[in-house]
Amino acid sequence: MSDSQAAVQNPAHAGGHSPALLHHFADEQQQRDSASLGMWIFLATEVMFFGGLFCAYLIYRLAYFGDFAAASQTLDWRLGGTNTIVLICSSLTVVFAVYAAQQGKRSMLLISLVLTLVFGFAFLGIKGVEYAEKFEKHHVPGASFQFDNVKVPGHADQIANPHHAEIYFALYFIMTGLHALHMIIGIGIFVWLFLMAWKGRLTPEYNTPLEIGGLYWHFVDIVWIYLFPLLYLIDLHK
């Protein structure tokens, strides 16, 4: 049943308001504000969730600074930096998608959503290359972890403590892994949004799913904006 048919058949729509407006809201503005407020409260819980991990990182980095620098420099900042740019580009295409839905520009909306998905998969692909390298070098915490005779940057006479480096890699995998999980969920949401857009369900009158899905995507981008300098860029000048 299409929305216009619903408006005709449901006597509650006799007043002629938009079929997208649920009856417990005063108007469409209030409906949109309620949805995004709910999303922001969810994002507040996400900030506290990642905040605990950042706090753990901060405590161990201050305690084992040189070991963290030595472990951090086994990562390739070029790959991390490329992923930062990929995510920033995907945020731009999300903003374009929201704009296109509000303006009712169908082809721009669909192209923006496809580009967002392409950037999302590119991010995960690069992350996969990095993870594979960690497994090859035995830098994954666990029984086969190896980090012997690695010098502390800036201190040629000091060898990094493998146990402290293992803590760095544990934090690296937990933080980037949870971030990657958020990316995978985000890609799922955007596939669903693409299907909604394809069916013409995202209109200038009703595009709330895209708007709050976009908020989630931007939040995941912000988490990476902090992860990149904290994990990849320790003491590179030494």
Partner 1 sequence: MSEHSSSSLGFYVGIWAALIAGTILTVVAAHIDMGPFNAAVALIIATVKALLVALFFMHIKGAHERLLKLVVISTIFFLIILLALSMADYGTRYFS
Binding site for partner 1 (CB under 8 A): 29, 32-33, 36-37, 40-41, 43-44, 47-48, 51-52, 54-55, 58-59, 62-63, 77, 81, 84-85, 88-89, 91-92, 94-96, 98-99, 102, 211, 214-215, 218-219, 221-222, 225-226, 228-230, 233-238
Residue closer to partner 1 (CB basis): 199 or 237: 237
Three-state secondary structure readout of 140-168? CCCCCCCCCCCEECCEEEEECCHHHHHHH
Q: How far is the CB of 184 from partner 1 (least distance, A)?
A: 20
Give the shortest CB-174-to-partner 1 separation in angstroms.
17
Least separation in angstroms between CB 189 and partner 1? 16
Please identify, using beta-carbon distances, which residue of 14 and 41 lies nearer to partner 1.
Answer: 41
The residue with tokens 């990476």 is 224
For residue 126, the minimal CB distance to partner 1 (Å) is 15
CA torsion 200→206→207→208, rounded to 10°?
A: -140
Nearest to 203 by CA among 129, 137, 108, 106: 106
- 15 DSSP 8-state letter: G
Q: Of 46 and 145, which has the nearer Cβ to partner 1?
A: 46
Q: Which of 33, 41, 47 is nearest to 219 (CA)?
A: 47
Distance CA 2, CA 20 (A): 12
In whole angstroms, how close is the CB of 81 to partner 1 at the nearest point?
Answer: 6
Nearer to partner 1, 83 or 117 (CB): 83
Cβ closest to partner 1, residue 80 vs residue 141: 80
3-class secondary-structure state, position 226: helix
